[in-house]
Amino acid sequence: MSVAEGFEYLEKLRDFFYGLAELRDRLKERGFRWPKPYAAEAAATGTVKVKVGFPAMLRNGVIMDVTNVEQAQIAEEAGAVGVMVLDKLPYDVRKAGGVARMADLKVIEEVMSHVTIPVSAKVRIGHYYEAFLLEEVGVDLIDESEVLTPVDEQHHINKWLFTVPFVNGCRELCEALRRISEGASMIRSKGEAGTGNVSEAVKHFKALYRAINELAAAEAAGEEERLRDYARQCQVPLELVALTAKMGRLPVITFAAGGIATPADAALMMWLGADGVFVGSGIFKSQDPKERAEAIVLATSRWDDPEAVVEAQRMVSERASMAGIDVKALRPEELLQTRGV
C-alpha cells in the first residue's frame, strides 16, 4: 500500500468513526440509553494497570508539542497519537529566558475541546499544584518537565498521589528508575530540548540501553549481588532493578525526545529502541509544519520499512527545517537536561 492509499484509507476510517459518533448523538437526542457493560462501582481509575496501560496504547506514535488549537488540529490531521500543550515551544522557552511555567488552563481546555486525541501538558519539576490543576481539568497525561523552570531542585512530584499518568525525562538508567519508583508511568529521553539537535537524545538512549544490557547479563548469570549494588547506587527498590534486568528494557513505555527535527531523526530513535517519539520545536518552528508532521508520523510508525522512511524524508526539505543549535556551544547553565536528577 502506498502512502497516498494509506492516507485515503485512514480518511475513510476517520469518516466511519465520525459517522458512528453522529449516530450516537442522534440516538441520545431520541432518549436512547446505552446499556452499561459492567456495574458502575466496578470501574477503577488511577490503578497501576490503567496508568501504565494508557501510554502503552501510544506505542509507535508521535506526541507533538503545540501552543494553540490550530497547531493541535494540524497534529491530529497528521496522525499524531497525542499533543502536549505548552505556553511556548522549547525553542522559544530557550530564547525568551526568565521563568517558564505551565500553559494557561484556558488554552489547554480549548485544545481539549477541539481535538479527539489525548491531550497532555507540562508542569514544573516539583510543582504539585500545577499537577493538581491539570488533573482537575482532565488532561490525559502530565509531563513533569525540565523544559519548564523547576520549583524544587532536590525533589520530584510523588506521582503515586495522582490518578492521572505522568511522564518524566531521563539521561541514564538510574534517573529513569528513580522516576519510575516515584510513580512515573512513562519515561522519555531528555535530549536537549529546543535545539533541533538529536545528538543528546541518541547519547541518552545508548546510555540507557547499555546499562540495561549489563543488568540483563548479570541477571542471566545469576549475579544477584550486582543487581543489589545497582539498586543501592540508584537508590531504588531491588525489585524494580530485577524486573528491568529480566525484561531487558524499562518496565514502562519509553519515548525519545529532545532535538528530533526530521523523519530520519524519528526513525533513528525508534531503531535505537524507542517506543515512540515526542517532537517539540522541530515541527512548528520549521517552515513546513504540516508536511513535516505527516512525514515524522510516517517515519515513526514505519521506521523498520526503509522505503517508507525514504518516502517520509522526501516529503520535507532541509531548507525548511528549524534552525538548529549546536549543543556544544551552549553554556552549562543553558542546558535544560541537567535540571532534576
Task: Please list the active-site residues.
Answer: 122
Q: Are 266 and 260 in contact (CB under 8 A)?
A: yes
d(Cα 237, Cα 24) in Å, to the nearest integer?
Answer: 48
Give me the phi and psi of 265, to 5 degrees please: -60, -45
Q: Which residues contact 151 (CB under 8 A, 6 or more apart)?
A: 124, 125, 126, 127
170 by DSSP, 3-state: which?
strand
The DSSP secondary structure of 92-150, one letter per residue, reads HHHHH-S---PPPHHHHHHHHHH-SS-EEEEEETT-HHHHHHHHHHT-SEEEEETTSPP
Cell of 241: 532493578
**How far is CA 204 from each of CA 64, 190, 264, 283, rounded to the nearest angstrom?**
20, 7, 18, 22
What's 64's DSSP letter? E
Angle between helices 263-271 and 199-220 (to 10 degrees): 10
d(Cα 100, Cα 106) in Å, to the nearest integer?
Answer: 17
